[in-house]
Chains A and B, each alone.
Chain A
Amino acid sequence: MSRRDFVRLTGACAATLAAAGVAPAGGEAGDLDADRRGVLVDLTVCIGCRRCEWACRNENNPPAGELHECDDQSVFRSRRRPTSTQLTVVNRSPGPAGGRPVHVKTQCMHCEHPACASACLVGAMRKTPAGPVIYDASRCIGCRYCMVACPFQYASYEYDNALTPQVKKCQLCGNRTQRGELPACVAICPVEALTYGRRDDLLRIAHERLRSCPDQYIDHVYGEHEAGGTSWLYLSDRPFSELGFPTLGSSSPAALTEAIQHGIFKGFAAPVMLFGLLGAVGKLMHAPKESP
């Protein structure tokens, strides 16, 4: 092979690699609406009636059964997690000696910079500018990397569906909010433990409550910074780590992996340089043997 052939082929390969490196950036955090929505949960208000579980089932997996079935308190004996047919669950943490038990509603937190969306190789998980993190089954290939990435491990999978399993998680009731209605769980809550609204407003309300009633809360809005911030925000009178909330740093797990990924592959410079370097090694190491 002549030197010119070699150079030409090297160039062609580099171009192919570079083309492969150009990919639409999905799930980026920069383009969020200023009035994106979220939900504020005040754990000191929640009475553990589980009406939100029923409303969620009624919205996403009907039939939801009878409403009074929610009064069954035996489910609180074990800690539950959201499943593919029950996208939100309420868990009870016993209070300190005779104190009031705390009930924690769990569901997808709708992160500001979601790790699941950053992880998905086909863009099936997407952070919408309006706030919700939405799953698109028509793109999904079922690798479940989103579930590995989720810092809360709240996404569920339809393992029992042999052909068309989906990742199931709270979608923040897009159908309802588009009609101007509240998400099903928020609408049904009888004690207004849940507040739906602009995330900025919710944070303002949360901090106002912390300021006006410092005895009633611990001074922490869970979700304001956790994992880079979440659309669901929680107020509590007990440390969150005692209530089953994971203790997380203030940056999204995706921030680090994207920095590594784009650091290595920026403009495809590193792979192209490696290609050139190896080509040079191949040429140079060969030369002394050919010359004599």
Chain B
Amino acid sequence: MNAAPAAMPTRPRYFTPGVWVVSAIALTGAAALAARYVLGLGAVTNLSDGYPWGLWIAIDVACGVALAAGGFTTAFIAHLVHREEFHPLVRPALLTAMIGYTFVALGVMTDLGRFWAMWHVMLPWMWQGNSVLFEVAICVMTYVTVLYIEFLPIVCERFIGRVRLPGPLARFNGLADSALRRLDAGLGRVMTVFIILGVVLSCMHQSSLGTLMVIAGPKLHPLWQTPMLPMFFLLSAFCVGPAMVVFESLLAARSFRLAPETEILGRLARLIPILLGVYGIGRVIDLLNRGAAPHVLEGSAASVLFAAEFGLGVVAPFALLLGQRARRSTSRLFLAACLVIFGVVLNRLNVFLLGFTPPIESAPYAPSPAEYAVTAGFIAMMVLIYRFLALNFPVIEGLKEVRS
């Protein structure tokens, strides 16, 4: 992380040894994905009647949505509260959210038994307004669209004055250019509405994602089952948004050999202990209020998972980021961000998978190798797409200078 040169005179190459490894993981995932669509869920996954939701819903969907929270949190801080110093963080976070949500949709589709009927969700006469999943589905679909619209100005900026269509199409260069300019101007006028809409939709489905498991009732361990789940999912999304921005910015700086933006990231990270504090206190009050606190000490697997989630994922980063020292040190900042992300990922895993016990005896669920391959493959594909777009579009400040 340290000793990175300020800015390289040449653009970083797309393929590095690390990228080849990631590509191999992505290809393995693609093969497992093909097997799932050809052979079906039963042949490829270890899902059962007792455990109808597995790794894909817990990681690809639940964690995917949470970890894409950097998009709406930075958009809120930079564009609505107008903290201009955070502007360099908005585009990378937006790119992450756009790719993240695209893969949430792909993850859902992969898990759907009748994936070809997915479009039923868009037919008003199919809608079932009592369903929490209906709300999540509509919100996520709308939000993906909003994210693509929010990304359009970046596409415009990339191509305005630089439209070079291939071969005979070249004569339309001028036409395309002026269309882009008009689109850019039009978008500029309405973008605030889409930014606000993005924040509203995010608050709606981040919380509803928590409501999703309330209906599982006593099947979810009392350490997690609470009517406050929507509030806690929303609060933890607020926490993990800035943490993901820190995490990705430092990773990207290292990968692209740019100077880490520790100063500005440290300032963003000041928010994290405040948010973690509210979230952590809320969780404790809820446990006491429901009389579920004794479960913390029951010594079961669930209590260990809770201790890991709460101790390492909430208390530790809270303590770490409270002091100025951690916020000024790149490595400590990175560690704190990793802990917050760990805490939220483990929380989603606990709520959707590890804390879930079917009421009638069922063989325990462990994901199959193919399930792991698909999940790892999706993550690898996201990394590859992020790298491609970051290298070819004006997203990361440090790379803009390199490109020109």
Contact = CB atoms under 8 A, between A and B. Distances in A.
Contacts of A9: 190, 193
The DSSP consensus for interface residues of chain B is helix
Contacts of B118: 141
Contacts of B133: 119-121, 143, 145
Given A162-B39, A258-B130, A147 B112 contact: no
A199 B324 CA distance: 67
Interface of B: 37-43, 45, 47-50, 52-53, 76, 79-82, 108, 111-118, 120-121, 124-135, 137-138, 142, 188-190, 192-193, 195-197, 199-200, 203-204, 207-208, 211-219, 227, 230, 358-362
A27 B130 contact: yes
A222 B118 CA distance: 38
A23 B215 contact: no
A120 B128 contact: yes
A140 B133 CA distance: 13
A279 B227 CA distance: 29
Given A24-B127, A120-B131, A141-B120, A264 B197 contact: no
Contacts of A5: 189-190
B214 A246 contact: no
A282 B114 contact: no
A34 interface: no
Contact of B135 (A28, A249, A261): A261
Nearest to A152: B359
A165 B127 contact: no
Given A142-B112, A165-B114, A256 B131 contact: no
A120 to B, nearest CB: 6
Given A24-B127, A152-B359, 17 more contacts: A24-B125, A24-B128, A81-B361, A121-B134, A139-B126, A142-B117, A151-B359, A153-B50, A153-B360, A162-B37, A162-B42, A163-B114, A246-B359, A248-B218, A254-B215, A264-B230, A279-B196
Contacts of A161: 40, 42, 113
A144 B359 contact: no
A88 to B, nearest CB: 14
B190 A1 contact: yes
Contacts of A20: 138, 142
A248 to B, nearest CB: 7
Contacts of B132: 119, 257, 260-261
Interface stretch (A64-72, A205-213, A270-278): A270-278
A81 B360 contact: yes
A50 B3 CA distance: 74
A82 B360 CA distance: 10
A76 interface: no
B136 to A, nearest CB: 8
A69 B150 CA distance: 65
A156 interface: yes
Interface of A: 1, 5-6, 9-10, 13, 17, 20-28, 79, 81-84, 106, 115, 118-123, 139-145, 147-149, 151-165, 244, 246-249, 253-254, 256-258, 260-262, 264-265, 271, 274-275, 278-279, 281-282, 285-286, 289
Nearest to A288: B82
B360 A152 contact: yes
Given A147-B49, A161-B40, A165-B40, A278 B137 contact: no
A252 to B, nearest CB: 9
A160 B129 contact: no
Given A148-B52, A260-B230, A279-B196, A142 B115 contact: yes
Contact of A141 (B39, B114, B138, B230): B114
Nearest to B118: A141
A162 B82 contact: no
Given A1-B190, A28-B130, A157-B52, A281 B200 contact: no
B79 A282 contact: yes
A13 B193 contact: yes
Q: Interface centre among A83, A162, A262, by most B CB within 10 Å?
A: A162
Contacts of A143: 108, 111-113, 133
A24 B181 CA distance: 43
Contacts of A257: 130, 132, 211, 214-215
Given A5-B189, A24-B127, A260-B230, A165 B215 contact: no
A160 B42 contact: yes
Contact of B113 (A81, A152, A157, A264): A157
Contacts of B137: 121
The 8 closest A-B pairs by CB, nearest first: A142-B113, A23-B129, A162-B40, A159-B42, A121-B134, A142-B114, A160-B42, A144-B52
A6 B192 contact: yes
A256 B227 contact: yes
Nearest to B120: A122
